[in-house]
Structure 1
Amino acid sequence: MKPALKSVLAVLCLSAANAWSAPITFNTALPVHEGGWVLREQLVVMKAGGDSTPARRDMEATGLVSVLGYGVTPDFALFGMLPWFDKRLDMRMGGQHLTRRKAGVGDLTVLGRYTVYQRDAPGRTLRIAPFLGVKAPTGEDDARDHLGRLPPAVQAGSGSWDVLGGAVLTWQTLEFEIDSQVSYKVNREARGFEAGNVAALDASLQYRLLPRSLGAGVPAFLYGVLEANLVHAARDRVGGADDPNSGGTILFLTPGLQYVTRKWIVEAAVQLPVIQHLHGTALESDYVLTVGFRMNF
């Protein structure tokens, strides 16, 4: 799978007890109140291409990602994430155009997040929260078509039990919020294939555009969002050997918008690659589009 899609789906942004602005492409350290729930739905569309080989591969993937979180204590929250995928690989083989495609439920990720540091002041808060999770192989990973078994990138699931972890820092004020996250995902082998481990460093600025001044009874806010996502994926391994045409490093700049009310948020962002250093003939990322909402109850 492309580093872009790995990064987007590894850890999604998870909202707080009240609907404050928050990162779109990664986590936040703001809490889920004890006994409260947060639901998030995101539509993620990824396109990759730039294949210089005769195969002329083009990859498209659409994911509908459902996230449900629960506040166990004021400091500890649990989250479950289950995606549905529709993946399509177009290519040429023997002078013919071929399409290989798979749609279905992907792998379930469950993670816990704990606030280890909190400093509050009037109109602002600083929080640091590490997280740790596991991805279970709930998606199909042995789908086939008339050409045989589909490539791992087209499968709905990976077939492996994987581990992910990291930490996120959030600095929130009445006018803006800054978030930063470091994360790492360890992938394991299944059916002779092992996806490369993924490291990511993310940063986000959310700035209140409207209303410019706060007053009593303001029902909603419009935030402008600018994020940077640095993603490095190690080479995949096939049959115990490194695949020279996989992995690499991508830097994304991600502009977006959020419409925020007390209980729900509507948001959209597009990840645009500004630097790509990929190995061999690995497909280049064109863009990753994210549209979604989240609500608390």
Structure 2
Amino acid sequence: MCRSRILASTGWTISLVFIASAAATAAPQTFNTALPVAEGEFVFREQFLYRKASGDPSRADREVEVLGAISVLGYGMTGDFAGFAVLPYLDKELGLTTASGARITRSTSGIGDARLFGRYTVYRDDAPGRTFRIAPFAGIELPTGDDDDSDGQGSLPATLQLGSGSWDPFGGVVATYQTLDYQIDAQASYKLNTEANGFEFGDEARLDASLQYRLWPRELGPGVPGFLYGVLEGNLLYRGKNEIGGIDDRDSGGTSLFLSPSLQYVTKRWIVEAIVQVPLVQDLNGDALEDDFTVRAGFRLNF
């Protein structure tokens, strides 16, 4: 059985990735930003992902592959408050060796759990050529994905289901410091997972940081169609142990540290981007499955 939560480092890290203003700017790709969504404007972001996890210390030799598309729509309700809706489509596949030595594959695809959240700017310090913002956010993950899928082997494990079946609140705070040459973002967040169908994913806490640096053009001036940014992000993620029937699953949860290099091309109204997330440290419990890498690519539109 796959013991790690397949969505934890894939789709939902993307769900808090959002930024908008009167013009598009560089932004983190694996978490949130404190820069505002302009009042009365929409922002749409689409990210496509591929995740592979095959570091299985058990005899089952598990291998997980996830393909996904995460759609995010944001709206600036006021100059300080923005609301967001997130909907993922996921294709998940688990290969493993049974006790008899047979190699089997189990898979599912479809809409996952949606998220709704709001973000409010509580502090701003603007000056010529720079800005500093702090914005808390809070929301809930809705049980919109199927949580009772099965195949020829029977009911799929909870970690392979498209949805959790539970209503899970989350929140945090993000800070952003932006200049004409670079931008720094940092975030702390927590997600409280609740029980459904006799299963409860472990709570998740994370710390994130991102540096976006303008690579081209080095000198600002008129007539430039867009800007190329180099991005480096770090993500520290802690997951508590899952519970099955009220009993801790010793082969789940732990601490992971990821480093993610990226490129973004930014114009006034749209952005294209790509990022590779690589684990540096994976201190996991028991036989929890280790990540190999995650690749994301996508675009963002302001309108």
TM-score class, shorter-chain normalisation, is: over 0.9
Aligned residue-pair number: 297
Mark the CA change 1:6 to 1:184 in structure 2 (over 3 Å): closer, same or farther. Answer: farther
The answer to whether 1:68 aligns with 2:65 is no
Q: Is the 8 A contact 1:248 1:277 kept in 2?
A: yes
Q: Which runs of 5+ in 1 are unaligned?
A: none
What is the CA distance between 1:7 and its match in structure 2? 5.6
TM-score by length of 1: 0.98
Rounded Cα–Cα distance in structure 2 between residues aligned with 1:261 and 1:60: 33
Q: What residue number does 1:188 align with?
A: 194
Per the TM alignment, residue 279 of structure 1 is displaced from its structure 2 partner at its CA by 0.2
Counterpart code for 2:75: Y
Aligned to 1:138: 144
Partner of 1:105: 111
2:239 and 2:12 map into 1 onto residues whose CA distance is 9
Partner of 1:22: 27
Superposed CA offset, 1:77-123 (max 9, x none): 00000000000000011211100000000011000000000110001
Pairing 1:174–2:180 present = yes
CA contact (8 A) 2:17 2:33 kept: no
| Equivalent residue for 1:236, pick from 238, 242, 249 | 242
8 Å contact from structure 1 (residues 14, 40) kept in 2? no
Offset of 1:52 from its aligned partner? 2.3
Checking the alignment, whether the CA contact within 8 Å between 2:11 and 2:88 is kept in structure 1 is: no
The separation in 1 between residues aligned to 2:46 and 2:260, in whole angstroms, is: 19
1:57 paired with 2:62, answer yes
Report the Cα offset of residue 12 of structure 1: 2.5
> Which residue among 243, 260, 280 is the counterpart of 2:266?
260
> Is it true that 1:150 corresponds to 2:156 in the alignment?
yes
The aligned residue for residue 38 of structure 2 is 33
Distance in 1 (CA, whole Å) between partners of 2:283 and 2:273 is 29
Decide which of 76, 84, 89 is 1:79's aligned counterpart.
84
Q: 2:291 aligns with which of 280, 285, 291?
A: 285
What is the identity, as a one-letter code, of the residue corresponding to 1:81? V
Greater strand fraction, Structure 1 or Structure 2: 1
Do the aligned residues in 1 keep the contact of 2:232 with 2:259 (CA within 8 Å)?
Answer: yes
Cα distance in 2 between the residues matched to 1:293 and 1:243: 38
2:97 is the alignment partner of 1:92? yes
Please give the alpha-carbon distance, in whole angstroms, between the structure 1 residues aligned to 2:189 and 2:165: 22
For structure 2, the 5+ residue unaligned runs are: none
CA distance in 2, matches of 1:145, 1:208: 49
The counterpart of 1:199, out of the listed 197, 205, 208, is: 205
- How far the C-alpha of 1:199 sits from its partner, in A, is 0.4
Report if aligned partners of 2:88, 2:111 keep a CA contact under 8 Å in 1.
yes
8 Å CA contact 1:15, 1:28 repeated in 2: no
Deviations 1:115-158 (A, max 9, x none): 00011000110000000000110000000001111011211111
Check 1:41–1:6 CA distance in 2 against 1; reply closer, same or farther (3 A cut).
closer
Match among 251, 270, 276 for residue 276 of structure 2: 270
Distance apart, 1:14 and its partner CA = 3.4
TM-score of the superposed pair, with normalisation by structure 2:
0.96
Q: Does the 8 Å CA contact 1:162/1:186 hold for their aligned counterparts?
A: yes
Q: Check conservation: 2:69, 2:88, Cα contact below 8 A.
A: yes
Alpha-carbon distance in 1 for matches of 2:32, 2:116: 14
| C-alpha contact 1:46 1:289 (8 A) present in aligned 2 | yes
Pairwise CA distance, 1:10: 5.1
| C-alpha contact (below 8 Å) 2:15/2:86 kept by paired residues | no
1:49 shift after superposition: 1.4
Alignment RMSD (CA, Å)? 1.1
Secondary structure (helix, strand or coil) at the match of 2:10 reads helix
SS class of match (1:284): coil
Amino acid at match of 2:25: W
Larger mean CA deviation between 213-222 and 47-56 belongs to: 47-56
SS of match in other structure, 1:153: helix
